[in-house]
Amino acid sequence: MFEVSVKGSFSGAHRLKGYRGKCEALHGHNWDVEAFAATKKLDRGGLAIDFKILKNKLNAVLDSLDHRDLNGIVFFKKGNPSAENIAKYIYDNLKKALKGDKVSLRRVSVWETRDSCATYFE
Protein backbone atom coordinates (compact mmCIF):
# COMPACT_ATOMS: atom_id res chain seq x y z
CA MET A 1 0.00 0.00 0.00
CA PHE A 2 1.24 3.48 -0.87
CA GLU A 3 0.14 6.61 0.97
CA VAL A 4 0.65 10.24 0.00
CA SER A 5 -0.36 13.45 1.72
CA VAL A 6 -0.70 17.13 0.98
CA LYS A 7 -1.18 20.10 3.26
CA GLY A 8 -3.32 23.19 2.97
CA SER A 9 -4.75 25.90 5.16
CA PHE A 10 -7.64 28.30 5.55
CA SER A 11 -8.72 31.08 7.88
CA GLY A 12 -12.14 30.98 9.44
CA ALA A 13 -14.20 31.96 12.44
CA HIS A 14 -16.45 29.81 14.60
CA ARG A 15 -18.15 29.62 17.95
CA LEU A 16 -19.05 26.50 19.87
CA LYS A 17 -22.70 26.41 20.90
CA GLY A 18 -23.31 24.82 24.29
CA TYR A 19 -19.67 25.22 25.29
CA ARG A 20 -18.77 27.05 28.49
CA GLY A 21 -15.66 29.09 28.10
CA LYS A 22 -13.89 31.38 25.66
CA CYS A 23 -14.76 29.23 22.64
CA GLU A 24 -18.48 30.02 22.97
CA ALA A 25 -17.70 33.51 21.64
CA LEU A 26 -17.02 34.06 17.96
CA HIS A 27 -13.29 33.77 17.32
CA GLY A 28 -10.98 32.82 14.47
CA HIS A 29 -8.20 30.42 13.63
CA ASN A 30 -5.70 29.85 10.89
CA TRP A 31 -6.48 26.18 10.33
CA ASP A 32 -3.87 23.79 8.90
CA VAL A 33 -5.12 20.69 7.09
CA GLU A 34 -3.43 17.50 5.91
CA ALA A 35 -5.14 14.97 3.65
CA PHE A 36 -3.88 11.41 3.14
CA ALA A 37 -4.71 9.25 0.13
CA ALA A 38 -3.66 5.66 -0.59
CA THR A 39 -3.51 3.10 -3.36
CA LYS A 40 -2.28 -0.44 -3.79
CA LYS A 41 -1.04 0.16 -7.32
CA LEU A 42 0.98 3.03 -8.74
CA ASP A 43 0.25 4.50 -12.17
CA ARG A 44 2.56 4.06 -15.16
CA GLY A 45 4.67 6.98 -13.97
CA GLY A 46 5.16 5.45 -10.53
CA LEU A 47 2.70 7.79 -8.78
CA ALA A 48 -0.22 7.14 -6.46
CA ILE A 49 -1.67 10.49 -7.57
CA ASP A 50 0.04 13.63 -8.75
CA PHE A 51 0.57 15.84 -5.67
CA LYS A 52 -0.64 18.82 -7.69
CA ILE A 53 -3.98 17.13 -8.45
CA LEU A 54 -4.53 16.13 -4.82
CA LYS A 55 -3.51 19.60 -3.61
CA ASN A 56 -5.85 21.34 -6.08
CA LYS A 57 -8.77 19.18 -4.98
CA LEU A 58 -8.01 19.84 -1.31
CA ASN A 59 -7.72 23.57 -1.95
CA ALA A 60 -11.08 23.60 -3.73
CA VAL A 61 -12.68 22.18 -0.58
CA LEU A 62 -10.79 24.59 1.68
CA ASP A 63 -11.94 27.53 -0.47
CA SER A 64 -15.51 26.78 0.69
CA LEU A 65 -14.35 27.43 4.29
CA ASP A 66 -11.84 30.22 3.82
CA HIS A 67 -12.69 33.57 5.44
CA ARG A 68 -16.11 32.36 6.49
CA ASP A 69 -18.09 32.19 9.70
CA LEU A 70 -18.18 28.40 9.81
CA ASN A 71 -21.37 28.41 11.89
CA GLY A 72 -23.18 29.78 8.81
CA ILE A 73 -22.31 26.78 6.61
CA VAL A 74 -25.23 24.35 6.24
CA PHE A 75 -23.13 21.30 7.24
CA PHE A 76 -22.49 22.83 10.66
CA LYS A 77 -26.15 23.58 11.41
CA LYS A 78 -26.40 19.97 12.66
CA GLY A 79 -23.36 20.24 14.93
CA ASN A 80 -20.67 22.61 16.08
CA PRO A 81 -17.88 23.54 13.69
CA SER A 82 -15.37 21.87 15.99
CA ALA A 83 -12.01 20.72 14.64
CA GLU A 84 -13.46 17.19 14.62
CA ASN A 85 -16.49 18.17 12.53
CA ILE A 86 -14.39 20.35 10.23
CA ALA A 87 -12.17 17.32 9.56
CA LYS A 88 -15.29 15.30 8.65
CA TYR A 89 -16.61 18.08 6.40
CA ILE A 90 -13.30 18.24 4.53
CA TYR A 91 -13.08 14.43 4.35
CA ASP A 92 -16.61 14.06 2.93
CA ASN A 93 -16.11 16.75 0.30
CA LEU A 94 -12.62 15.66 -0.70
CA LYS A 95 -13.76 12.04 -0.98
CA LYS A 96 -16.42 13.18 -3.48
CA ALA A 97 -13.82 15.19 -5.40
CA LEU A 98 -11.54 12.13 -5.64
CA LYS A 99 -14.28 9.86 -6.97
CA GLY A 100 -13.00 8.32 -10.17
CA ASP A 101 -9.34 8.74 -9.20
CA LYS A 102 -7.39 5.58 -8.46
CA VAL A 103 -6.68 6.55 -4.85
CA SER A 104 -8.85 6.33 -1.79
CA LEU A 105 -8.98 9.03 0.84
CA ARG A 106 -7.68 7.62 4.12
CA ARG A 107 -7.93 10.47 6.60
CA VAL A 108 -7.98 14.21 7.08
CA SER A 109 -6.28 15.99 9.98
CA VAL A 110 -7.14 19.55 11.02
CA TRP A 111 -4.96 21.66 13.33
CA GLU A 112 -6.85 24.35 15.20
CA THR A 113 -3.59 25.49 16.77
CA ARG A 114 0.02 24.43 16.36
CA ASP A 115 -0.44 21.88 19.16
CA SER A 116 -4.06 20.75 18.73
CA CYS A 117 -5.24 18.44 15.98
CA ALA A 118 -8.34 16.38 15.16
CA THR A 119 -8.45 13.60 12.56
CA TYR A 120 -11.39 12.01 10.75
CA PHE A 121 -11.28 8.68 8.92
CA GLU A 122 -13.75 5.94 8.01
Neighbouring-strand partners of residue 117: 111
* Spatial distance between the Cα atoms of 49 and 4, rounded to a whole number of angstroms: 8
- Asked if residue 70 has pLDDT above 90, the reply is yes
- For 99, the domain range is 2-121
DSSP state of 82: -
Alpha-carbon torsion angle 97, 30, 113, 95, nearest 10: 0
The pLDDT tens digits of the residues spanning 80-122 come to: 999 999 999 999 999 999 998 899 999 999 999 999 999 999 9
Chain center to CA of 48 = 20
CATH number of the domain bearing residue 51: 3.30.479.10
Q: Are 14 and 33 in contact (CB under 8 A)?
A: no
- Enter the pTM of the model: 0.96
Cα torsion 62, 68, 74, 79: sign: positive
Number of domains in the chain: 1
What burial class does residue 26 get, using C-beta atoms within 10 Å of its C-beta: 0-12 exposed, 13-18 middle, 19+ buried? exposed
* Single-letter amino acid code for the residue at 72: G
The pLDDT tens digits of the residues spanning 3-49 come to: 999 999 999 999 999 999 999 999 999 999 999 999 999 999 999 99
DSSP state of 34: E
